[in-house]
Structures are given as structure tokens and as C-alpha cells.
Amino acid sequence: MSTDGWWVIGMGALVALLCAALGSFLYLRRLSMLGDAISHAVLPGIVLAYFVSGARESLGLLVGAAVFGLLVTYLIDWLTHKAGMQQDASIGLSFTLLFSLGIVMVSLWASRVDIDADCVLYGDIALLPFDTWSWGGRPMGPRHFAMLLGLDVLIGLLLWRGYKGMQLLAFDRVFAASTGMAVGLWHWLLMGGVSLATVFSFEAVGAILVVAFLVIPPAIGHLWSFGSLPRMLAVAMLSGVASSVLGYGLAVWLDSSIAACMSTAALLLYGMSWIFHPQRGGLALLLKKKRVPHAPMMGRMR
């Protein structure tokens, strides 16, 4: 396989690690749809960033673009709690508003902004290895890889040091607040992380497929957590990396979109991990049904 292939797999894996770790906390807080919303709502920010900087993405502007992720989070909050709209409806309204605004901006500034609708949906991971950078005359590989690596390290540190806070916030928000923990700040830290992850992953996998990485690996992790949050995180991140490796292989074999194949691979992994799960799995359910018809409720009641 060419070096470019490895760079693509590497970037896919970095995106997957990032989204799997952050997505796990969204999943546990039943906010996966908020991740979906954020991943779409950052589009106007990204278009603006490109518009201002010309063709090239710049680090500072991308961070600025992430503000749109926080904006949509705030908008959803406001519509739900102040305007009295149902939460699912306010999520739907807020992100489609910002996403369509972004699409309008893309088409208006088509000549000055180097992204099109296809790129918005699926990303351009195959092109990223060609945009390289060098440091002190030495070639350092694709610029985007370095940026993703930096963000992975940053978010890794946040979740490592802030593990207890994120865990407590996810499990029991009111108890967390009763201990004096600044739950609002922690909430915005998580949402900020998701916004940054989305903006940085955008070029690699596009708006829609970021969602696959935010949701599917955490779902696999939750299935195989067996009462351990660290295990959930580990399984989620591992299956995210596995999806990007398998997905790349799939894309080469089928000569298809890399990002789409990576999320297809994630879905396949989810299907497999569900079928073979010892308690909740399809196979286990099938076997149980045959063995013990009308199993009485036992064990849990005392």
C-alpha cells in the first residue's frame, strides 16, 4: 500500500479516536443528536473561515468556526427552555437553520471558497495527504494529520484530567451540582470539544459522516462496557480505529468513497458486536428463546 494510504488510514483513525471518546459522553448523556446538530451547524463557520483566509484552512479560523457549534448548542437550549419548544424540534430547527445558511454561503461564494456540496457531505480525505507541511526544511507529512494529532492530544488531556467531572456530569447532573461542581462549565467544555472535533474532522469525513463516528463506536463501547466506563471508552476508540482501517480496505476494494466506507465498516462492526454479545446479542437471544420458553422473571426481584 502507498504511503498516502497509510496517511489516510491514520487520519481516519485520529478522527475516529476523537469522535469515539467525545461521542461516548454524548451517548451517555443521551445527547448524541446534539453531536449531529453541532456537526452540521459548524458549516457556516467553516465557510466563513475559508472565505476570510482564501483557499487554505488556517488553524485560528478553524477554532473560530467551532464557535458555531457552541452557538447551536446555546440556540437549542434557548428554544427548549425559554421559547418552550420541544427539545427534538428545537434541535431540528437550529441545525438545519445553520446548515442551510452554510450551504447558501457555499453557493454564493463558490468562486472564492474552495469547498462544494460534495465535500460538505463526504469530506475529501483522499486529497489530504497531498497538502503537506515542513518544519525547518524537513517534510512533516500532511498538514491535516498534524492538526488532528494536536487536537487528539488536547482532547485526550481534557478527558484524562477531567474524567471524574465528565463521568459525574454524565451520570447524575443534579448530584454533581449539589457537590459544588461547575456543571455549566463542564457541559460547555464537552460541547466545545465536540465542536472542535467536528470542525477538524470536517475535511476528512464531512458533516454527515462525523455523526457516524460520534455515535456508532460509543454504541459498540456501551454494549461491551459491562459496568466499566473506562472499558466503554477503550472499546469505542478501538472499534473506531478498526472501522477506519477496515473502511479504507473496503473503499479500495469497492473503489468507493473512503469516508462512506469507513462509516459502513463501523456499522458492520456494530452489527457483529451485537450479534455476538453474550447477553443482549441476537445469537444469545435466539438461543435463549429455544432453550427456555417463557422464562420466568427471576433473580432481579428480591
Partner 1 sequence: MNTPLIEAKSLTVRYHYKPVLWNIDCSLSAGRMIGIIGPNGSGKTTFLKTLMGLLKPDSGSVRLFGKEPKQVLERLSYVPQRESVDWDFPARVQDVVLMGRYRRSNLLGRLSKEDRRLADEAMDEVGLTEFAKRQIGELSGGQQQRVFLARAIARQPELFLMDEPFAGVDAATEDAILRLLARLRDKGRSVVIVHHDLQTAQRFFDELVLLRTRLIASGPTEQVLTPDHLDEAYGGRLSVLSRMGDLLQKSQLDWKERGINDSDHER
Q: Which residues in this chain contact partner 1 in the complex, by CB under 8 A?
A: 28, 30, 161-162, 164-165, 167-168, 170-172, 174-175, 177-181, 222, 225-229, 231-232, 300-302
- Retrieve residue 191's grid coordinates: 460541547
Q: Considering the complex, what minimum distance in angstroms separates the CB of residue 137 from partner 1?
A: 40
Q: Cβ 17 to partner 1, closest distance in Å?
A: 19
CB of 69 to partner 1, least distance (A): 24
Of 24 and 263, the one with the shorter C-beta distance to partner 1 is 24
How many angstroms separate the CA atoms of 147 and 136, rounded?
Answer: 18
Length of the chain: 302
Element (H, E) at 134: strand 132-135
Q: Provide, rounded to whole angstroms, the least separation between the CB of residue 196 and partner 1.
A: 20
- Pick between residue 139 and residue 299 the one whose CB is nearest to partner 1: 299
CB of 252 to partner 1, least distance (A): 35
Rg of the chain (C-alpha set): 21
Q: Which residue has the cell 447477553?
A: 279
Q: Which amino acid is at 24?
A: S
CB of 216 to partner 1, least distance (A): 17
The 10 Å Cβ neighbour count of residue 222 is 15
Cα distance between residue 172 and residue 151, in whole Å: 28
Q: What is the largest CA-CA distance in the chain?
A: 72
Burial class for 189, CB neighbours closer than 10 Å (0-12, 13-18, 19+)? middle
Q: Measured from the CB atom, is 139 or 227 closer to partner 1?
A: 227
- What is the CB neighbour count within 10 angstroms for residue 77? 16
Q: Which three cell numbers stand for residue 294?
A: 417463557
Q: How far is the CB of 77 from partner 1 (least distance, A)?
A: 15
Cβ 152 to partner 1, closest distance in Å?
A: 20
Q: How far apart are CA 5 and CA 248, in angstroms?
A: 8
Contact 109, 102 (CB under 8 A): no
Q: Which is nearer to partner 1, 150 or 230 (CB)?
A: 230
Going by the DSSP 8-state scheme, the letter that residue 130 receives in this structure is: G
C-alpha grid cell for residue 18?
476523537
Residue 175 phi/psi, 5-degree rounding, is -60, -40
**Which residue lies nearer to partner 1 by CB, 28 or 65?**
28
Could you give the CA distance from residue 60 to residue 102 in angstroms, rounded to a whole number?
Answer: 19
Amino acid identity of 220? I
User: Considering beta carbons, is residue 175 or 276 the nearer one to partner 1?
Assistant: 175
- Considering beta carbons, is residue 83 or 104 the nearer one to partner 1? 83
CB-nearer residue toward partner 1: 55 or 301: 301
